[in-house]
Amino acid sequence: MAFIGVGKTHIMYFKFLIISIVILSGFAGSAFAEEHVDRCLEYTNGVCTSVLPEAYAPQKEFSQEEIDEMKHKAVLITMNGGTFLIEFFPEDAPNTVHNFLKLVESGYYDGIVFHRIIPGFMIQAGDPNTKDPDADRSLWGQGGPGYQINEEFNTIQHDRGIVSMARSNHPDTAGSQFFIVLEDSNRLDGEYTAFGRLIPGIPSSFYALDLIETLGTDANDAPLNLLEATILTATILDPYTSSGLVPADRNQSIIKKEKREGGTAEVYYNSLHKVKFDIPYRWSVTEAVGEHLGIIIEPTDLEHNVKAQIEKSGFVPKVIITSEKRDPRESASVSTAFFSVEGGDDPKILGNYVFENEDGRKVVLKTTTQDLHDTERGTVQFKILQLSFINSELQYSIIYVNVTEWFRYELNAFLQTVDNFEIMIDGRMQPINFDDSPIFRQLIADAKVEPEPESLPPVRIGGCLIATATYGSELAPQVQLLREIRDNTVLQTQSGTSFMTAFNQFYYSFSPAIADYERENAVFKETVKLILTPLLVSLTLLQHADIDSEYDMLGYGIAIISLNIGMYFIAPAVLITKIRSFYKLQ
């Protein structure tokens, strides 16, 4: 099993000096009961004739009661030179703990050798190939139970005494092999599933650990003295409980990939503040260290669409997540949190909505603007969208901040963060479920609409005949959609940029004159709008196109142009010809 390490920054819990432990005596006759999971694919006359291999069975979901049951079990590993006493972290790795206990109960580990010993790092065991002393030693480290389990990477630090699952390069290749850390090895944090530890305050466990570390090894790190490196028995202690133990040190957070419909997502989990959410694609997380939760999510340099607006606005759009103790003034389960830009004018409240999700939890959604003066670009107006809610102890806010002009463009990052956001509710992590509310969806849709320009004298309104014809009509949203397609799709390719440059030179050679006449003559304006409708509809087809290259852009562009030539020139010409032929026949 290979080890791949990465560097991390760690936040340590304070360690207490006094440690005590109580192990209630008794070995249960059936210490670990396997819940039956029906894996039968086909029955014949009531008899299963085809079974789904365990490796392909769905991963079991554990109830809180089952997790608590595993929490009250420990494993005693007996060696010739001493014993290990291991407690578990089923709240972090329930499937891994379940699998380990199942193997222990079956006697799987009895007679297995700690086949890999690296002083100052770890000792590793769990390969059934090591049970036969006459077996080929070159096969040591390659054996397993015949199936693999999924990773359950978590925030537990790989400090001395931690028990973790060994694996191959792929995360989901653990089986039965595990290792015990000899010295703090935090480069493994978040890369291997830590699921237990040698119980602190039991000197005999660490004495046995150090004894195995001192055994002589060959060139492959395998022990020369098999007698001292062999597990005699592994036994479950049930019930087990501890009192006053120092919790395992943890990293404040972890980022891991999880499967989502249509692909995978990077998921952030903070074990200190108990929050979890999906990170928007090509955005990164910066977290504050302290008593309160403070997270800033920003686009990376790989998010090319955002780079252009940053260059023009001078501001990096942000999603901010905070939590703090509930305000005692709160009533009716509504948060009073309010975000503002430091140094700016008093915020102007554009909207302040309170609504409930299907679980009866209330949320406040505020929209504000705020002017900030004396910046490098003069006065800048910011627009802020703040979602605030509470649990029994804390109030949380998810806040999106951007300059007003560009506000609507990165709303999807805010929406993705909210969609899968989880906090601790009733003792377990649960989704907040506010994004499914019709009110929330409508407010987000409204926020994406381009703000209407202020009324200006006719000669000062722009020279775009399309915008003038559709202004204030049912076609206005389609025009806004076309602007977004232009900015986010067409202008992201060289061919699209070249076309738009040439088109704009031609278009604005006559557009201002037509736009002026539209303002003067309402009938003419309605006529132009009617003529433009097929064009606008055809251009919106680009929102359904998957454009990943210059070739795609050219292909779709030529197709759209050809379609409009057919609608505006060929079809009318054919119709006129048919009409003329008809009258000639008369």
Residues 531 and 406 in one domain: no
- Domain boundary (430, 448, 466) is at 448
569 part of a folded domain: yes
H helices within 420-569, ranges in order?
A: 438-448, 465-470, 476-488, 494-507, 511-520, 522-539, 550-565
Residues 318 and 390 in one domain: yes
Residues 283 and 416 in one domain: yes
Residues 225 and 295 in one domain: no
Lowest model confidence (mean pLDDT) among 94-98, 306-310, 342-346: 306-310
Q: Supply the pLDDT for residue 295.
A: 94
Residues 538 and 397 in one domain: no
3-class DSSP state for residue 167?
coil
CB 205 within 8 A of CB 81: no
Residue type, 379: T
pTM confidence score: 0.60
Residues 425 and 497 in one domain: no
Residue range 298-340, pLDDT digits in tens: 999 888 778 878 888 889 999 999 998 887 666 656 777 788 8
**Is 572's pLDDT higher than 90?**
no
pLDDT confidence tier of residue 86, bands split at 50, 70 and 90: very high
411 part of a folded domain: yes
Residues 316 and 415 in one domain: yes
Residues 102 and 145 in one domain: yes
What range does the domain containing 527 cover? Answer: 458-575
CB 217 within 8 A of CB 223: yes
Element counts in the chain: helices (H) and strands (E)? 14, 24
Q: Supply the pLDDT for residue 20.
A: 29
Q: Supply the pLDDT for residue 55.
A: 46
What CATH number does the domain containing 388 carry?
A: 3.40.1000.10
Residue range 252-273, pLDDT digits in tens: 899 988 877 767 889 999 988 8
Share of the chain above pLDDT 70, in %: 80
DSSP state, residue 208: H
Residues 225 and 268 in one domain: no
235 part of a folded domain: yes
Residues 283 and 224 in one domain: no
134 part of a folded domain: yes
Top mean pLDDT of 115-129, 134-148, 241-255, 442-456 is at 115-129
Mean pLDDT for the stretch of residues 514-533: 83
Residues 147 and 294 in one domain: no
pLDDT confidence tier of residue 98, bands split at 50, 70 and 90: very high
23 part of a folded domain: no
3-class DSSP state for residue 580?
helix
What CATH number does the domain containing 201 carry?
A: 2.40.100.10
3 part of a folded domain: no
- Domain boundary (416, 448, 480) is at 448
202, 203, 207, 213: CA torsion to nearest 10: 60
Mean pLDDT for the stretch of residues 546-569: 76
580 part of a folded domain: no
Q: How many CB atoms lie within 10 A of CB 357?
A: 17
- Domain boundary (243, 277, 309) is at 243
**Is 238's pLDDT higher than 70?**
yes
Q: Which residues have CB under 8 Å from 347's CB, separation 6+?
A: 338, 340, 368, 369, 370, 384
Rounded CA-CA distance 85/205 in Å is 6
Q: Is the peptide bond before 239 cis (omega within 30 degrees of 0)?
A: yes
12 part of a folded domain: no
How many domains, the chain? Answer: 3
Residues 505 and 438 in one domain: no
Q: Supply the pLDDT for residue 484.
A: 67
Q: Decide: residue 381, CB within 10 A, 0-12 exposed, 13-18 middle, 19+ buried.
A: middle
